[in-house]
Structure 1
Amino acid sequence: MKVCRYKGLSVVIMLRDEHCPPHVHVDAGTWSARFKFCFWHNGVELWDVVPLSRRPPLAVLEGLRQSLMQPAHLQRARGIWWRKIQTVCLDNQLWDGQINEVVLVKGIAGATYMIGSACYEPEANKTLLFLKGAQEGVEIEL
């Protein structure tokens, strides 16, 4: 499903056999790229380009990344992912409430909780985290 376009290239989310982390695809014919996005911050990251030998200029990849980072495009990508894939890919990850981010390794911090489940509200553009063992969940306005 199309998210946006950049200089004639379509940025899409595949709806069949998709997997975490949330990402979009760009197929330029001689090369293809994937960009990761998430449901807890507004950053977008280049994931990979294949084949590497046909990699386009960095300006093209950066333009694609910046285009996806536009609030309307990122909200559309999240909405498509949530409605069709039905996950925000955060279940069973660790949330550190002191720094308000997903962490890879649990340190000794009283505010670190396992994310039991998470959901996205497309209309409000926010993510809700349900934390195991915490009295309250976390609401992330994106």
Structure 2
Amino acid sequence: MTAFLQDLGFGSATAIDVAALLLRVALGTLFLAHAWLKIFVFKPAGAAGFFRSLGLPGAFAYLTMAAEILGGLALIVGLWSSLVSILLIPVIAGAGWFAHRANGFWFNNQNGGWEYPAFWTLTLLVQALLGSGALALTAV
């Protein structure tokens, strides 16, 4: 495996380093996609209204969008990936609890169940444990 990774240009990276890279880029991209959805599809005011409909302050929508953008970018470039992953867990766990819990487990239920946010929460924990991996700005 090491020779294969070297042939791909990963130098002395291990399979775990490359796995952490792939996971953090996927997580970061998903956070950016969710921020994009709130900004360009639902619009910030619409997202704030949705948060209020859940009994949360509308300002949490703007904080969530900021966390998704900053956290997503940090994960993609590998900047403090373990810390960023831990800090993003309440964001996605909150989505599962406040927005999806009442819809049942399966995410294909109307308005999405809590299956996907639960899995996403677990993947953030795995990323935190793995660290930044290959091609990262920081090692942790």
Fold-level match, TM-score > 0.5? no
Higher strand share: 1
* Band of TM-score, shorter chain: under 0.3
Higher helix share: 2
> What TM-score results when the alignment is normalised by the length of structure 1?
0.26
Higher relative CO (CA 8 A, sep ≥ 6), structure 1 or 2?
2
